């Protein structure tokens, strides 16, 4: 489980009239029971067990679909569909007592059989669930004792199990409606999917079947997709949206901080922003070339130029908020001459022509220009290829790329990303897999801490990717909107807890 997140809250200090304002009547109507939020990316589907996009969880996790446990904004794990759980002394079994009186939005009863169905489906070799390797392959069996209790039997002890079960890939689907889950999932959460207008928005409506419906203050939530930073600013100023939990137009923050109509909050994430490298493809299959790439990148210049200074440099695939984090940024300091020497040592003739594929988020598009300029200084000509999210998922994420820039937002995803040689950047290390197996098998706190550091050092030593930055989360929203997350241990928007004051 990650450490409790430390967050900084920045609130506006002085008023400064802005160019546009929303109509007063529209705002007054909206304040009662509706909220419109801006999202950077549109998800490829609405089933988080079927795809890797964090944008799926931003809409449906905790709102439509729920898991046995819940990860809060501070990273703490609490009961959700499970009331309690007991871990066996050897750590290889966990028994859950399920919440009673829970129904799916269509009136079907939630019980242990639904959990068994969801987990066995995720464990199936044909499953596309991205957490399969880290979680479900470790489940030996699911034993149902009665409708409200079951035991997960594990192959290896996993002290992080309660946290893993709170991630969006472990939601409990409706056994009778999985075929429609990608377009209109049926869950036990406080909302139902009312409409999905492709390319525009997803609309959620309050579920009358929800067990705590009286506590849910919003009747309708609309997630609008706005990946252009200038359009995000315009939408906020015009009152078209009430907020952006993950605001991307960092250059406009001072404008919103200076206006009393808005609140700006800066918090932490579990993200690892990296330049992914195709380890299967020559010359990147030579560690010297990968190390050259790392020395060619000025992390702080990237953070200052693409993130307005909001973020922290990292040196491995761990965030500063993760348990066992160790700062490894000094292993590959910015050193263009060292980068040139390594390329020469590896026998790489320059200029080396490569393709840098960039998905839509501003950190990638703006940051990609910065990275390309830095690579050019060491003799690497990076041709920029801008793609839409669906193209990124069907291209780089399938292993068809040279270099790409992406923020991995899943917490503690080192096993999912690096222990599977088939993962998109193709890292294949028996030594690393051995460390992961040892880490999964130990329950000793000191040994875990040692192995967490060993895992990070191995990834840095092999320079699998260029580890650049841990992004900050920036939320901008109208004053009076309460309950939005301002930190993201996982990418979620818990709208059942949101209201207008």
Number of residues that this document lists for the chain: 501
Domain identity same for 420 and 454:
yes
- Count structural domains, the chain: 3
Domain identity same for 281 and 256:
no
DSSP H helical segments within 209-277, as ranges? 229-238, 253-257
Q: Is residue 53 part of a domain?
A: no
What is residue 377's three-state secondary structure?
coil
Residue 6 has pLDDT above 50, yes or no: no
Domain identity same for 213 and 360:
no
Domain identity same for 483 and 426:
no
Helix axes 299-307, 362-376, angle to 10 degrees: 140
pLDDT tens by residue, 261-294:
999 999 999 999 999 999 999 999 999 999 999 9
Give DSSP secondary structure letters for 312-367. EE-SSS--TTSTT----GGGS---HHHHHHHHHHTT--SSEEEEEEE-SSHHHHHH
The pLDDT confidence band at residue 79, using thresholds 50, 70 and 90, is very high
The pLDDT score that the predictor gives to residue 12 is 34
Q: Is residue 236 part of a domain?
A: yes
The pLDDT confidence band at residue 475, using thresholds 50, 70 and 90, is very high
Cβ contact 362:490 at 8 Å:
no
Domain identity same for 303 and 395:
yes
The pLDDT confidence band at residue 18, using thresholds 50, 70 and 90, is very low
Residue 13 has pLDDT above 70, yes or no: no
Domain identity same for 369 and 492:
no
Domain identity same for 378 and 494:
no
- Beta bridge partners of residue 469, listed in sequence order: 273, 313
Share of the chain above pLDDT 90, in %: 78
Domain region containing 124: 69-180
Token pair recorded at residue 479: 């004053």
What is residue 374's three-state secondary structure?
helix
Residue 27 has pLDDT above 50, yes or no: no
Domain identity same for 424 and 333:
yes
Pairing relationship of beta strands 272-277 and 466-471 according to DSSP bridges: antiparallel
Q: Is residue 402 part of a domain?
A: yes
Between residues 166 and 159, the one the model is more confident about:
166
pLDDT tens by residue, 402-412:
999 999 988 88
Cβ contact 274:12 at 8 Å:
no
The pLDDT score that the predictor gives to residue 157 is 82
Q: Is residue 493 part of a domain?
A: yes
- ω into residue 283 within 30 of 0, thus cis? yes
The 10 Å Cβ neighbour count of residue 191 is: 26
């Amino acid at each position: 489980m990650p450490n409790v997140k430390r967050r900084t809250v920045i609130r506006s200090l002085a008023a400064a009239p802005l160019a546009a304002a929303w109509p007063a009547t529209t705002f007054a109507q909206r304040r009662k029971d509706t909220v419109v939020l801006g999202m950077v990316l549109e998800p490829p589907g609405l089933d988080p067990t079927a795809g890797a996009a964090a944008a799926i969880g931003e809409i449906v996790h905790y709102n439509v679909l729920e898991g046995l446990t819940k990860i809060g904004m501070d990273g703490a794990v609490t009961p959700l569909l499970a009331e309690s759980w007991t871990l066996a002394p050897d750590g290889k079994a966990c028994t859950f007592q399920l919440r009673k009186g829970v129904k799916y939005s269509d009136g079907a009863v939630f019980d242990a059989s639904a959990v068994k169905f969801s987990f066995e489906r995720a464990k199936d070799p044909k499953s596309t669930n991205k957490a399969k390797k880290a979680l479900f392959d470790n489940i030996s069996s699911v034993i149902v004792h009665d409708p409200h209790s079951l035991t997960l039997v594990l192959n290896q002890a996993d002290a992080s199990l309660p946290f893993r079960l709170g991630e969006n890939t472990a939601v409990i689907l409706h056994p009778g409606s999985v075929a429609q889950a990608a377009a209109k999932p049926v869950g036990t959460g406080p909302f139902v999917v009312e409409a999905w207008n492709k390319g525009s928005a997803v609309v959620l409506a309050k579920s009358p079947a929800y067990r705590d419906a009286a506590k849910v203050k919003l009747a309708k939530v609309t997630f609008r997709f706005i990946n252009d930073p200038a359009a995000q600013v315009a939408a906020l100023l015009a009152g078209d949206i009430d907020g952006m939990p993950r605001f991307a137009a960092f250059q406009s923050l001072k404008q919103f901080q200076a206006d009393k109509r808005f609140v700006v909050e800066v918090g932490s994430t579990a993200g690892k922003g990296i330049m992914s490298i195709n380890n299967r493809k020559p010359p990147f299959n030579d560690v010297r070339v990968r190390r050259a790439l790392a020395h060619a990148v000025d992390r702080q210049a990237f953070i200052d130029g693409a993130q307005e200074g909001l973020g922290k440099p990292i040196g491995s695939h761990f965030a500063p908020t993760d348990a066992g984090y160790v700062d490894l940024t000094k292993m590959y300091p910015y050193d263009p001459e060292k980068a040139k020497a390594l390329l020469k040592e590896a026998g790489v003739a320059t200029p080396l022509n490569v393709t840098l594929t960039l998905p839509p988020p501003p950190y990638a598009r703006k940051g990609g220009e910065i990275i390309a300029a830095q690579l050019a200084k060491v003799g690497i000509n990076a041709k920029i290829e801008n793609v839409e999210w669906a193209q990124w998922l069907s291209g780089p994420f399938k292993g068809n790329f040279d270099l790409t820039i992406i923020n991995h937002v899943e917490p503690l995803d080192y096993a999912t990303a690096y222990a599977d040689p088939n993962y998109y950047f193709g890292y294949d290390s028996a030594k690393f897999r051995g460390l992961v197996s040892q880490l999964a098998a130990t329950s000793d706190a000191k040994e875990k801490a040692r192995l967490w550091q060993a895992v990070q050092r191995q990834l840095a030593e092999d320079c699998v990717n260029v580890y650049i930055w841990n992004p900050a989360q920036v939320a901008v929203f109208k004053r009076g909107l309460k309950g939005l997350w301002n930190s993201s241990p996982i990418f979620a928007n818990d709208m059942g807890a949101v209201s207008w004051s």
